[in-house]
Structure 1
Amino acid sequence: MLRLEQLDIRQEGFHLTADWEVAKGAKVAVIGPSGAGKSTLLMALAGFVPHGGRVTWNGQNMAALAPGDRPLSILFQDQNLFPHLTLAQNLGLGLSPRLQLAAADHAHIETTLARVGLGDMGSRKPAQLSGGQLGRAALARALLRARPILLLDEPFAALGPALKAEMLDLVTETANETGATVLMVTHDPADARRFAELTVLVADGVAAAPVPTAALFANPPPALRDYLGA
């Protein structure tokens, strides 16, 4: 279980609180106005933003863990693929920052590439890939790390509707297979409806407790109505 206990993030001119939990394997959308703190919330969970309160996973306080040691992977919109490395090497960084890989690691990389539909592209560099392939590659690296929590900060926002839907379905499929807990920042209600059974609304300094996605959009609170323009 992922638990945010009186989480309190304070930066100059910014304040965000959260106090809730989600079960293992939950798929949660995070939505709200620009600047409300959606990405900041994920960055705090990942250990990149200081905060008060506690973030625990299965009862373990993650405060003492460096970002790289936390039981999570985070996927950003810019994919964070190194242009001078091949696709296989970029994935290899998820296993070893110095690319000191054993034969079993290389086999694992090939298997993961095949899993996301890039089985014959390990020798290509990012510039040789389409937008959809770059998204698949970044997702493959996150999957390769096999962490129980996956944080998605609008990684597919730049894709067209068809490709984005394909990537969301791929995340759903892999999360169902692995049992990963997924939190996904999005600005698009359609993405939340397609992917997440629960949604967190971030607005007015609060990341509200997750509620069923369908119910939230069927009867949106004022902050969400204002954001949606409905």
Structure 2
Amino acid sequence: MNIAIDGPAGAGKSTVAKAVASRLRYVYIDTGAMYRALAWAVLQAGISVEDEEAVAALLQHNRIRLERSGNEQRVFWNDTDVTGEIRTPEVSRYASIVASYGAVRSLMLILQRRMAEQGNVVMDGRDIGTHVLPDAEVKIFLTASIRERAKRRFAELMAQGHATTVEELEAEIAERDRRDSEREVAPLRQAADAVLVDTTGRSVEDVVDHILQICKRTGEEAK
């Protein structure tokens, strides 16, 4: 089966999706990392993030590649490993902007569906269950309180040496939620047939076990 995991920034999608894929021995596809890679490339190229045509052209004439390395996923822009470069606050802000462009999402849609063609994938993002993989057998919508998401992001950025505050991150996350939910193309929303999972105050292991139980029930019902 294919598993779609959607949700707002900081809900724990990547961590949970990666763990679910590992437990099931499925392929993990982090679509957020693809938009981050493009955002990184926009910064490197020095083009305006407001120029949708130029951003889309940059994506069309270059290549994003995801590779598994042990238990980690590496992200490549052409032949450059950008895994560690795409997690900065600046790239996060740019990623939210480039992800709002219809031309960019159309190109990404082709790439993402091609990656999922073989089946047995866990794909996470903002519009996987509603737009990218609407026929996925299991759809999960992960959420958490803004405060919880800000605290998680704060811990991550502090570990990387970036100075910020939880309050600043709360404001940034709230704005990103608004932008993702209100964009015209493939907005962030829960698919009608997705299972809502609130991760506030829950461990990764608990959430992963919950999702695996959903997958098990779905597989049994399909027999």
The question of a shared fold, defined as TM-score above 0.5 by the shorter chain, is answered with: no
TM-score by length of 2: 0.35
For the pair shown, the structure with the greater C-alpha radius of gyration is: 1
* Structure with greater proportional strand content: 1
Q: Which structure has greater helix proportion?
A: 2
* TM-score for both structures, normalised by structure 1: 0.34
